[in-house]
Amino acid sequence: MSKSTRIILYVGDQRDIFLLICSYFKERDDNFTTYDCRQVASGQECLEVLESELDALVIMDFCEVEDPIQFMQPLTIFKRWKTKASVAVGGIFNNKKQIKESEVLFGLGLNYAYIKGGDDVQALNSLFYIAYEDASPCLDYALAKGFKLPFRPKSLGYISEFTTNSFLVDKDFKSLNEEVEMELDLFEDFTATKFSLADEYDMGARFNTLYSAHLQIEFASGWEADENAMFEDTFTSWIGMNQDSFIEKKGSVLIYGKRRGLGILLSSMANEYPDIDFHLIEEFEEDNQEMIKIAPDLVFFQMEDEQSFHDLERMLMTWKECLFR
């Protein structure tokens, strides 16, 4: 029986970390699987390897990176590719402060983060589980009842849209009841916590979070003294103070095609058109719900040759002039 090979890609330039990763995965080799550890310098190089590999794990080193979002940008498009969405991406950071400053990366496809110099083996164990064992059908879980946890489990969520009395929050956990607790830091000295669940949507495998929830804001009345109660004038003030940062119009382009090298070329286009969101689907399917969720402004079919890219770029230039005029 021939062995299967799993690719481990370290994206960074710290040799000691790469050797640690190699040593860990060498011990994981068995009669059925071998691990091929490789070091690359950028997300673009990583993308070139991953385009032909399905069974892979990516470890990105953000310790010395000045612009984490730009560093990870090629993988952001890659993770939207239906057949590649399951590739796990871990990140190495210097400290908790750097993770906090870069938390937007979790919305762009980062699955796991750990701090350099901590328990490296435990961190790699967690990454291994996320990449390879999380999807195993034989795993079983026990649920304990009647025990009080010494901590409160939390998960990051991201506000994708809002109105004058509600939020649309993208998140990885399903709400269990109609009352939702979420720490929303509107001001430095104020955190709102209580919201009502109006609706919740399963986002599917192609999106960076599992669920999207429509949360209604429970505005407090004048006699409520709870320090975390949300008053309507508080929220109105927050909108007024941040209004300038909301004026951002971003287009969306959905592309169908299977040509080799397509992901790399789209990554290049994303750099050239940062105010356009690119999505890639290999094959067209009738009644495709993903198109409804993406709600593209432009759909382009049959990206199979060089002329297709020239046609798309010409359309993008014309369309962008109209959209952002």
Residue 135's pLDDT is 46
Residue spans of the domains in the chain: they are 4-133, 157-246, 251-323
Look up residue 115 and give its DSSP letter: E
Query: Which regions of the chain does DSSP assign to beta strands (E)?
Result: 4-11, 33-40, 56-61, 88-93, 112-115, 157-162, 166-171, 179-187, 190-202, 211-217, 251-256, 276-281, 298-300
- State the pTM of this model: 0.51
Strand partners, 145: none
Q: How many CB atoms lie within 10 A of CB 196?
A: 13
Residue 136's pLDDT is 43
pLDDT tens for the chain, 325 residues long, are 567 888 899 999 889 899 999 999 988 888 778 888 999 888 788 877 877 766 688 999 998 888 888 888 777 766 666 556 677 889 999 888 888 888 878 877 788 888 887 778 888 888 888 887 754 444 444 555 555 555 555 666 777 777 778 888 877 677 767 777 777 777 766 676 778 888 887 765 445 566 778 888 877 776 655 666 677 887 788 777 776 666 555 677 777 766 666 666 777 777 777 777 777 776 666 666 666 666 777 777 665 666 666 777 777 777 666 655 5
Which amino acid is located at 219 in the chain?
F
Query: Computed over its alpha carbons, how large is the radius of gyration of the chain?
Result: 22
DSSP H helical ranges for 29-104: 43-50, 68-79, 96-101
* Token representation of residue 127: 């990454």
Q: Which CATH number fits domain 4-133: 3.40.50.300, 3.30.460.10, 3.40.30.10, 3.40.50.2300?
A: 3.40.50.2300
Residue 158's pLDDT is 74
